[in-house]
Structure 1
Amino acid sequence: MSAPPQGSAPPIEVTDAHLIEQSWRHPERFGVLFDRYFDILHRYVHMRLGESAADDIAAETFLRAFRSRQRYDVSRPSARAWLYGIASNLVADHRRNEARRYRALARSAEPSDVASHDDGVVQRVSAAIMQPQLASGLARLSAGDRDVLMLVACAQLSYEEVADALGIPRGTVGSRLNRARKKLRKVIGPYEEAL
């Protein structure tokens, strides 16, 4: 492997906004955004709606983004929040299925009495015990509170990114997240009690 020539500058990462702008004349450039974000959007939708919906919704997210790329605000260098916003809107179309899935998870998983000294097993058992309570709590949240919670917890978006994604003020993000956390704590209870 040869070293880069002396005096050459390191490669400059092209921003999402620049790629979108390039795609106005060269549509194939939009594929770079697909490569950058498909996996994380797919994981987010999978966590919300399951595997069967994740493929379709992640693909539909990019199709809608591609079709509306002319309206993208190129003053925003990252398209991450924009794409999560599109995905969240598509998830909203599937809310009934999502709430049904959480209720089914809450009913289906029963805590098991498995004892082990291995930390990995303890973590899996703890997660299995918490799953029905968490699913029940998620099903009880309002759609807006659940969206904010899932974007922060699953997609790890900042408050500003969540506000951009959902088209709501930053303060609303904070209040919805706080409300969702309080409701989940009531359902789940202290961690120690779940064990």
Structure 2
Amino acid sequence: MTGGFRTIRDGVTALAILAFLWLIAAKLNDRAEIVQAGSFHAADGDSLALGGERMRLYGIDAPELSQTCERAGTTWQCGVDAKRALQGLVAAKDTQCSGTERDRFQRLLVVCRAGSVDLNGAMVRKGLAVSYGAYHSEEAQARAEKIGLWAGTFEMPRSVRDHAREASGSRDTRLFGW
């Protein structure tokens, strides 16, 4: 009987140690959330600056600033319109952007809010950005309503960046800031 008790005790002890180690690892991975508020400047439809901090809106991809799109047989400056829309959204006095991670260009990956409104999602709902790992329902809504980019034809922003990189003969994406 003693052998069975030791086996149970050893199993419980091992499980307790594993749980303790998991808690330590989870705490070490906890990154402090960085919250920014103030007068944001939209660099394009999915990038912001505030002072010296560069930020990239998490989960979305907006047209490149120089990108054009087509709707109703007419070319329009969708990249410029996306930048204007983002600038209008972050102009709200109560806008805050927060994040814990940085991308490979050391931009803080953020979700921005004005009150209870998720501005990243708002850009996708307006059809001025596509979902990039998040905001799938907002993109589906914009597609169904045929608004913004979905009112005509456009090239995905990632493809525009890839073509620009190929045209320059560069394999280094850092030259383009992407």
Using the size of structure 1 for normalisation, the TM-score is 0.27
Which one has the bigger strand percentage?
Answer: 2
Which one has the bigger helix percentage?
Answer: 1
**Larger of the two Rg values belongs to structure:** 2
Using the size of structure 2 for normalisation, the TM-score is 0.29
